[in-house]
Structure 1
């Protein structure tokens, strides 16, 4: 959309990739090094998001959470159900944002919008407080302006010079097009009058800030379905100047700048236009250059049906407490190694790999249960058809009802091995045809003997969520 673009789908807010349990707290949210009080070193990540799918089968406008130990591959919590949902305004949220505040607790902001009614104009955003993201208190809506327009994709940053937090968001002001606005606050309960933070003279949404990078502040945003950057040596409203080369993967929105914890690499994340949201990432060794190259899609896996994500660093203790509170998924998804945009699913009872996203999305959810013929192996139990399992028949994989026979049990049992193309991934050897492995050919799954490089890639999968 151009004249009235939709809220974006930020996959992160200055995420720092990699694991470094002994690394001191670096930049989190939009805070600069050392801005937070001392606490245990951040060594994991939490993501917030809402969900949509191609036919809106999985449209849920509450706050969802996922966690990660590497910032790339994510585990949804609470079975990918929301952990809190707004009760006022539109009764739903988009574009959540999580930030650790100066006192070490968290604040959650979100767009006041349920669904895709872009004509719904809310002057408010949703706000929660949270000590640990296991409970959410003080729910309120915060009014940002008196204009007859929206307040999309709110984010916050600490402006040390002002001693206040800035809240940036997309809104239409007197210019007649979307700009990035800012209000300042100390408590996320009252705010100053809105100001134009960035207006390049054309329609933009989805501002995302990285503050204090070698003395420069970077603001990325969506322009004409592409991701573009601006920069400034101050955080003053009106001080940012566009400078970067646009990047996109189809229609892309909601940029998010990310820095690795273990290298000098920067990542720029973007989300394809809703509801067909897929995260893509680019990388650069020099943020100041404004140029990016695509990141291998094998390296990252977003939570199922996630949209407009926010990512904040957390401690190992916080990670463990979140998993203990909300629980890990009772299912998995399998990503193809040589077609990493495709996932194992059943369709018309045929096993295959198809491009994510698709509906019905539960076709790609599997319970990896002890093998029906050998408990040291695994069987793939369908989540949406729990009496059915993937089994081979004439070497082709299909979804069949368990008839209780020893033949079915053997056909539906596989042994997980190190990935034939990549040992950090997985391959699955047939129980009763042990020279054959699950592989895809023309996107359809079957069991075959494996020898060539291509066949090894066809037979390699990532077991995730």
Structure 2
């Protein structure tokens, strides 16, 4: 009798433990593979440049709207730059050279020292823009002292700006924009080898591109702001084109990393802009970008500026509201970067990659949710993970290129529909994000109003289904990236 009582008590205790475990909240999936930030990173900061250093810090500089100083921030994360204190490391001269139009600073670490490249005009001619360099040997460039190393001399004493630098196959190059005598453009993009120091070029100068296409010549004939992305055995050089209003956009040149980069024939120009205004997401005139890497070093991140309105009063150069923004760079099957569209303000979107068919992504096609590879346009497969429309600790998946449209279930089918604000829609478009049913490092999405049913792919379509076996668990698991 006593033994039976003990067994009963143990059974009750075991049942209580099991019940407790079963009712514990399931942890959310790890977001280690998802690069997510909140835009904008900085208001009234144009021509942004972010450099990740080996000391664990990101360094951020940009053009200020007063055009009178160079500022620098640092933080251990890209998002941290949004609230990091800002220090003025250099101010314009009171007269003469470097006394006006302090533009487009970039910070680089070369041979154990810090360098800032920037453009500046003169007090007696503010449009006599030339390129200059600062140097610091301090470990922390934010608090260190800076020395002026003077002007970068190029073959022509003409309007020049937007110097940047990169190394390929052991050779350091300078790239920049300049107005070349005899060519009726505002600026073209050039490349040359660096010489004995980081403010001197040597040897031949090569003109890489001249703005001739319609999207490069709106308002002004401009190719400026070159930036380099080195991936997949190639050099991708982006540049900004047209006037600095809503027409501003990015073009791209591509060369094999093994090619002679000083041979213009090594480079191929994309026939269309690779990044441009998107009225649907409310982003206008994206451009003057740079590239950095995510905190885990696994993803490239594009840094750029734009405005959140189209119409500008007066000269765009006098409008102070260009903002610094960031978003992840994706790659096509051939290794070419796909920048997508400038995403809406707020949290940056992710893609839902199938766990068991890793070359395929959830995307919308005529508003139906499908699973496909090689999605074009990229934004059809991007979703913002936002607080659930129905609340209660849920999430909703908002379309990146159709803001206000959400992934929701209709008769167990998944569609991307515009929210009508009603209770039914809010419930249909809300999910509990759980650790992946097939992998805790991924994610699964359980319906709020139909518990036990998950977002799951089947025969190329995405539906809401119950999960009862290993196949179902794999079909209902997605990697956020």
TM-score (norm 1): 0.49
Structure with higher Rg: it is: 2
TM-score (norm 2): 0.48
